[in-house]
Amino acid sequence: MPLSKLIVTAAVAVALGAAALTSYAQDVTITPDPALSGLSVDEMVAKRQATMKTNGATLKSAGNLSGADAVAAAETLIADFSNLTVLFPEGSDQVPGSEAKPEIWQNWDAFQSILTQGVVAATAMKAAAEAGDAAAYGAAIKTIGGLCGQCHQQFRAS
């Protein structure tokens, strides 16, 4: 395939993925687990770290999944991104072992936006898995991976 055709194909794929995510954004409801509100700050830090490890493992294996397993992976990510919206109480960057930067609370809206975009992308991933649309499913996985990288670059101490 000539390079120019490859570039056009890639641009179309990105545009279609963005359009698909935009259409899902209006239909997404973020519903964190109510039990999380009863956790101590230390427990919230431990829970968010475990959640992110689960997300990493889920994303790593998601590309090899199909059918009900792919739907389940997307549902895990939807729940996890929803839960992460409440697992960063102000000051939790001071908990030993926390890698959260103070920039989270200085740029709270931007931080929450990334998590919301994660829910939107995971919802698109689920819809694609249910429809058997491997291309859209793969695009959603890539979007989620990009969001994770963006968030960690801006808001995670290394």
pLDDT (tens, 9 = 90+) of the chain, 158 residues, equals 444 443 433 333 443 444 444 445 557 889 999 999 999 999 999 999 999 999 999 999 999 999 999 999 999 999 999 999 999 999 999 999 999 999 999 999 999 999 999 999 999 999 999 999 999 999 999 999 999 999 999 999 97
Inter-residue contact 63 to 152 (CB < 8 Å): no
Chain centre to alpha carbon of residue 96: 25
Query: 17, 136 in Cβ contact below 8 A?
Result: yes
> What pLDDT score does 27 carry?
74
φ and ψ of 100, to 5 deg: -75, 135
The Cα–Cα gap between 147 and 158 comes to: 17
Mean pLDDT, all residues of the chain: 87
Question: Nearest to residue 136, comparing CAs of 26, 16, 27, 22?
Answer: 16
- Which helix (H) or strand (E) is 156 found in, with range? none
Regarding pTM above 0.85, the answer is: no
CATH of the domain at 139: 1.20.120.10
* C-alpha angle 32-33-38 in degrees, rounded to nearest 5: 115
Q: How many domains does the chain have?
A: 1
Phi, psi of 26 (to 5 degrees): -75, -20
Q: What is the tens place of the pLDDT at every residue in 49-73?
A: 999 999 999 999 999 999 999 999 9
Q: Please give the residue range of the domain that contains residue 55.
A: 3-155
